[in-house]
Structure 1
């Protein structure tokens, strides 16, 4: 086994999940992640924790959804109980076909998502962490050779997370103290309120309210968005390619949208429920170890020099204690990304924090 797989597992269990003796751990294993699952199981066992592995496959899900009659049972008790009784959920992504669900009807996917919203909430109430194992399908989606893609993944995952956490704390402090964020760039001029929000220093550990490995972003929950934003990073949404998405907001709600490619996929997201037309997240990528777009949101949204906005569900971690019920609710959380290239700027309360993708504390800021 590649030693980097073992290092990945150790980082996931020790730094990210903070697994301790006696913890009840659910390990969600995708079809292409066997080697990483073995290494994670060894690490969990070494901590004296309890482990239950469950298998997940987009091809299995496709078969089930296509055969179903759309009358999905709401939050089946046996599955709900699994996550209500878990302390930690570790999800290993990496399947054989990144577009396996492309021919499942959108209304059926939406119905299934709505029916399982309580299960999703129960899982998100645990100390959950999602990561990805480099597979050939993901390498192909990224347009990279398999060996090249493995190097890319481990460069992003096996980092000095403590040092990056200390750098990202600078941006968290600015956002925590701020009231309004403005993004300006080609095709973009949008303002959002961030008053009374708590930014998350997403340093790839549940101790930082961070649930992705790799991570490397600072995110908050915006409100009252007004203006237009264009997302120039191509990506796959519900199994379909989307490119150059444009959203226009008034009083926090999407009132117009378009895309050079995949507009129907965006329409389906927006039509999921009322909350899908509002923002649940503003994230700023700060992981300089991610240096290219790979059509995998786990990596792309963390890339240094980018920002992303998510339609739909907001995270409770972005709200002060006792105010979690103020968050935007939705059955979806769909991130869209834009480069903060030449001519762009991110301001907080009128002060420029980032220009052209460079933060004001970094070399090269002008």
Structure 2
């Protein structure tokens, strides 16, 4: 019997690579291109993307590898006071990519799920690498054309489909990725442009209402999220300061905005598990008062998430509110991917931490937007959770009910 580990489908990798380079980051001739990937499963797609980027005219492609097993050794042996140390050259690299107006493609999908499961959650929560605070700063300055794409691997597949043998689990994951990334379409790039047009139209209809707040109502959830005066919903395409249009997530099914971090009140219950730094956090329930988290509970991984929101004052406040309708392909698969990139596009979600300044029309509102070294999305929507718009005069209008725009 062969013990060779199954490998991802070569045709799928080539199609994903082309999608990441052209529909996602929109790599331009002469650009530097950075790829962020994990050792132990992302290598095949990283190499395919490098090839597609060079074919598109990239000047140089650099891969920033992250090894979860090396992080495990740090968590096991490092002194407590050293766990949150981040070498300055890691942040310098991101800042340099921004100054060079580079493209960045990040691969997602845990290659070694549960690798930190036997380690003290308090220690796991201290070491937040590979996340870097400089990433949010460069993104907010719109210096990078960037995207995040899923990378199929055996480790991730067995987390999503634990009852199947490795080869069958990988094939099932690949089949779902083909669907959610629209790789089953004759021209996936054109298909994403069409979907982007739909999402942007939804965002414009929301913006036309000039809402003051949005309330989420459902089982275990009653949360009111205030908006800033110039908050606007955006979707799909973004532009760099140099005018390069790119799609930050592939797939993407959301319309999102920047909330008022001082006006969030109520309780919200997560509807899907969250993978945070390699740890699964499930059954999340968060209570806000005056914009700040005053209680955070979870059935698993609570201590890890509590450590994340202790990073700085902004980590306990909201930086994003996103609405997702039932027409998106991610939710229609019925699969829980245990990966934020995909799961957040199956359900409406909120994010603790850093806000997106591009969602504010007026620079005068920029100082009021939340600032933090973290940005942690977790899913709070389902067909049973309604989104209700609230105008400045208190008038309420249903926005999303049973997954459908009203």
TM band (smaller chain): 0.7 to 0.9
1:111 positional shift = 6.0
Q: Secondary structure at the match of 1:155?
A: helix
1:20 positional shift = 1.2
Once residues 76 and 94 of structure 2 are traced to their aligned partners in structure 1, the CA distance between those partners, rounded to angstroms, is 23
Matched residue, 1:165: 196
The answer to which structure, 1 or 2, has the higher relative contact order (CA under 8 A, 6+ apart) is: 2
2:215 is equivalent to residue 179 of structure 1:
no
Point out 4+ residue stretches in structure 1 off by more than 6 angstroms. Answer: none
Once residues 171 and 30 of structure 2 are traced to their aligned partners in structure 1, the CA distance between those partners, rounded to angstroms, is 37
Question: Which residues in structure 2 correspond to 1:29-108 (within 5 Å)?
Answer: 29-31=37-39, 32-50=41-59, 51-64=61-74, 66-69=76-79, 70-71=81-82, 72=85, 75-76=88-89, 79=93, 82-84=96-98, 85=100, 87-102=102-117, 103=119, 106=122
Matched residue, 1:19: 27
Range with bigger deviation, 141-150 or 91-100:
91-100
Q: Secondary structure at the match of 2:380?
A: strand
Question: Which residues in structure 2 correspond to 1:171-320 (within 5 Å)?
Answer: 171-176=202-207, 177-194=210-227, 195-202=229-236, 210-223=247-260, 224-286=263-325, 288-290=328-330, 291=333, 292-303=335-346, 306-320=347-361
Matched residue, 2:153: 135
Range with bigger deviation, 208-217 or 47-56:
208-217
Q: Secondary structure at the match of 2:322?
A: strand
Structure 2 contact 25–246 (Cα < 8 Å) conserved: no
TM-score (norm 2): 0.79
Number of matched residues?
A: 357
Structure 2 contact 214–388 (Cα < 8 Å) conserved: yes
Once residues 92 and 289 of structure 2 are traced to their aligned partners in structure 1, the CA distance between those partners, rounded to angstroms, is 42
Once residues 136 and 88 of structure 2 are traced to their aligned partners in structure 1, the CA distance between those partners, rounded to angstroms, is 9
Out of 287, 312, 328, the residue aligned to residue 370 of structure 2 is: 328
Q: CA RMSD in A?
A: 2.8
Q: Secondary structure at the match of 1:271?
A: coil
Q: Which runs of 5+ in 1 are unaligned?
A: 361-366
Matched residue, 1:363: none
Distance 1:205 1:163, change over 3 A: farther
Matched residue, 1:110: 126
